[in-house]
């Protein structure tokens, strides 16, 4: 990654932190929606910077999941308004126990290749070691 991209990534991560803090404190639904839109845009820009195949760290508060396979762990807002998704394919699911219960209400960090899936950044995890509590 070029020095310019590293600088932009650092800036975007700072902006993202401020937006997430604001979202956590905001009570008005219309303002929450606008903040979520900004957060989605910033995360998409971060995903674009991270699309070079390098591993990245993302974080957010667990908001919802499904119990099926594949398993989607949605961060910062429940589906379909999630800001970020952690994807566990069915072939890897048994390694993770019950993430929908284990991560409930917790802030998470996830490491891996950030990809964009229909406008929402996601990381596919293959090992529980890729997910940690913040």
Instruction: Kindly provide the b/e burial profile for residues 66-80, where b requires at least 16 CB atoms within 10 angstroms of the residue's own CB.
Output: eeeeebbbbbbbeee
The residue ranking higher by pLDDT, 56 or 133, is: 133
Give the pLDDT band of residue 53 (cuts 50, 70, 90): low
The residue ranking higher by pLDDT, 107 or 119, is: 107
Domain at 124, CATH number:
2.40.50.140
Whether the pLDDT of residue 34 is over 60: the answer is: yes
Q: How many whole angstroms separate alpha carbon 126 and alpha carbon 93?
A: 8
Boundaries of domain holding 90: 3-133
107 contacts: CB under 8 Å, gap ≥ 6: 59, 60, 61, 62, 133, 134
pLDDT digits (tens, 9 = 90+) for 73-114: 999 889 988 888 999 999 999 999 999 999 998 999 999 988
pLDDT digits (tens, 9 = 90+) for 59-77: 889 999 998 899 999 998 8
Q: How many whole angstroms separate alpha carbon 108 and alpha carbon 7?
A: 24
What predicted TM-score, i.e. pTM, was given to this entire model?
A: 0.68
For the chain, the domain total comes to: 1
Helices (H) and strands (E) in the chain, counts: 3, 7
User: Average model confidence (pLDDT) for the chain?
Assistant: 85
Q: How many whole angstroms separate alpha carbon 76 and alpha carbon 59?
A: 9
């Amino acid at each position: 990654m070029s020095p310019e991209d590293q600088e932009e990534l650092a800036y975007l991560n700072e902006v993202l932190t401020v937006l997430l803090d604001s979202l956590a404190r905001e009570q008005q639904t219309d303002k929450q929606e606008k903040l979520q839109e900004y957060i989605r845009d910033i995360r998409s820009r971060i995903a674009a910077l991270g699309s070079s195949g390098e591993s990245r760290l993302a974080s957010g508060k667990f908001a919802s999941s499904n119990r099926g396979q594949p398993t989607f762990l949605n961060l910062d807002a429940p589906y379909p308004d999630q800001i970020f998704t952690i994807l566990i394919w069915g072939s890897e699911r048994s390694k993770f126990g019950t993430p929908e219960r284990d991560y409930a209400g917790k802030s998470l960090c996830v490491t891996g290749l950030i990809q964009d899936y229909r406008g929402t950044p996601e990381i596919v995890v293959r090992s529980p070691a890729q997910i940690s509590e913040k």
